[in-house]
Structure formats: C-alpha cells, structure tokens
Amino acid sequence: MPPPLRHGRYIPAMTGALSAATIAQAPKVLLHDHLDGGLRPQTVIDLAESAGYRNLPCQDAADLARWFSEAAYSGSLERYLETFQHTVGVTQSAEALARVSRECAEDLAADGVVYAEVRFAPELHVEQGLSLRQVVDAVLDGFDQGTTGSIGDGRWIRIGVLLTAMRTATHSKEIAELAVEYRDRGVVGFDIAGAEAGFPPTRHLDAFEYLRRENAHFTIHAGEAFGLPSIWEAIQWCGADRLGHGVRIVDDIDMSDPHEPQLGRLAAYVRDRRIPLELCPSSNVQTGAAASIADHPIGLLRRLNFRVTLNTDNRLMSGTSMSREMELCCEAFGWTLDDLQWLTVNAMKSAFIPFNERLDIINTRIKPAYAALKEAESATTKE
C-alpha cells in the first residue's frame, strides 16, 4: 500500500531512504532537459573567453555555478529565464554548440541516464550568422560524439533531440518544419517554451496543425507558471502528446478529503488518457510553482497514478541531476526502487522514438538493472 496523503502529499515512509549509491546505479530516462540549461560552469567560462563574451557575472567555475543557482531561485519564471542570456550568449558558433552537446551526453551518461530527450531552440543561436540548419547539425554532431564516447567507455546512452520554438516569437512554423526535416537524423519531436502568461499555445496553432498532418510528435510547455487554461489549450486545441511540466493540473484536484481526492474533468481526462507529465521538482520550487520538494504535487500525482515522469529541466540553473532529483523525491515521499522503476518505465513508454525501440530499452536496460538493484538491496537487508 502506498503511504497515506496529508495535505495533498505523501507522508514519507518510516523506513530509511534509498542510498545515494543505489540511486546512482539506477537506470534513468529523462524527457525534459534544456541544452542551454545544462552547461558545465567551466565550459561557460571557456566559451565566453573564446567568443569575447564579456557579460559573465564572475570568472570562477564554483562561483559561477553558485550565481546561476541563486539567480534562478527567484520565485518567478520570467526572472529564471533571464539566466539563459549567458548560456545562449556563449553558444553562437558551431564549435560551441558541438562542445556543449558532447558534454551534455557525457554528463547524462555518467549519471546513469540510458535515454534522454534534450531540447533547444535553434532560433536563439543565429546571432552571429549561423543558419538554423547549421545550428541543428552542430548539436547533432556533438551528441553523436558524446554518445559514441560514452558507450565506448561502458556507459550506454541514447539521445533524441527536440527542437523548441519560443512562444514569445513568431518562428514556430519554421521550427516545426525543421523538426520534420530532421526527424530521420536524430530529431524526435518539437516543443514550444518561454514565458506562458500572455503567450498561449494557441498562438502557434498553425505549427501544431502542420505537425499533426506530418504524423510528428510534440510536447508543449504548459501548466508551469500559468494554470489550467494553459493545459487545456495545449491538449484540446493543440493536441500535445505530452505536457512540459503540467504541474498545475493539481489545481483541478479537490483535496477537501485528503484520503479521497476528487479529480475535476480536465485532471481526469489527463489521467485517463495517460498524457505524460514532464515534472521537474527542483525547477518548480525555484520558479515558485511549488513551495518545496515535499509540497510538490508529484507525490500526489504519483499516488493517483497519473503518467508521471521525473526530470531535471535545467541542470545548471537548478544545480541538479537525475540522481539528485530521485534522491530528493525518495527523501520527501518515501519512494522505493519500485517507485523509481515505475517512473523510469513511464518515461520510456512516453518517449518519442518507435515503440519497438522503447520496448527494447525497457526490457534490456531498465528492468534487468532494477531487478539486480532490488536483489542487492534485499540481500543487504537480510544481512
């Protein structure tokens, strides 16, 4: 039986939390990770020097990592997004894009990620003359290098790319066409991102209609800084396959009786249709979508069996990794290896690659590794 609810969240189990070493070994699947939000601090400094970028707040890697985290911890999505001016500012060349993509693959593989979908907005990297296609080519080249090197070192990983359009701009149809053009070369889907309030997803309806005609996959940032109307539009008007964040779906759940939560019609539709939620706890706390990890709706949504997935969003800004997000949630909600496997399989089921490939990763990478971890944990408990 799952632990009872109190005020809409789990009461942590009284047993000890999983060890960091166990979590580090667990295979992970990541669906919501921004390339420009995951740079290594030293790489930001190196690229700034190479590009002549003079606007960094400091020049020491540890200090810069601290600055990004503190600046992002603002309680505002708009202020959180301001930190990206630096990571975007230093990635305006093909060489820089290839480097950060390669390092992204290496870092995810080192964290135990076996499948990731990493997103970025090509339109943000053309300030110094690159074309949109040159941007995409550079990123794909970098991921090829990073995955090949990681697999050669014994850390298997596969990465798919999501092309993002900025919801505050007017290039979404062009980026959608680019996603379709590159879908047999490593791009697996499309996304829109940026400030939600005042920029509803329906402003980009032509892009979504085009993608549906082309049988292409897409997710939409919705229900993070803005509430239920954003989620409703993303699903019912735009036809999103997944919801980027979607955390505000909790606003449609009546918790008057914490033991018998009542789902509104939109929440029930999202759960019944198994629409995946790309939840990012640490990031949501930073932007004010949740007061703390313990108060994050992921605990409630997992108990209610929504199609929950766990994600990093922006590893640099949140100072996080998939292992850390798992650790925080295990501590807050008393999650076990069974919970982590459930989340990981959820994410793999929801990926934008073909069914047979998803199934292969589940059966050959995820389930055997979790079975081994459970056996080791059981043996340790008996001792």
The yes-or-no answer on residue 224 being catalytic is: yes
pLDDT of the residue at 220: 97
Q: What is the pLDDT of residue 224?
A: 84
Tens digits of residue pLDDT in 168-187: 999 999 999 999 999 999 99
Supply the DSSP string of 264-323, one letter for each residue: -HHHHHHHHTT--EEE-HHHHHHHTSSSSSTT-THHHHHHTT--EEE--B-HHHHT--HH
CA atoms of 26 and 323, how far apart (whole Å) = 8
CB 47 within 8 A of CB 88: no
pTM: 0.93
| Residue ranges for the chain with pLDDT beneath 50 | 1-16
Mean pLDDT (the chain, rounded): 92
What is the structure's pLDDT at 382? 67
Q: What token pair was written down for 188?
A: 């697996």
Catalytic residue among 103, 123, 177, 224: 224
Say which CATH architecture domain 5-382 belongs to. Answer: Alpha-Beta Barrel (3.20)
Angle at the Cα of 183 (from 182 to 188), degrees rounded to 5? Answer: 125
pLDDT of residue 4: 34
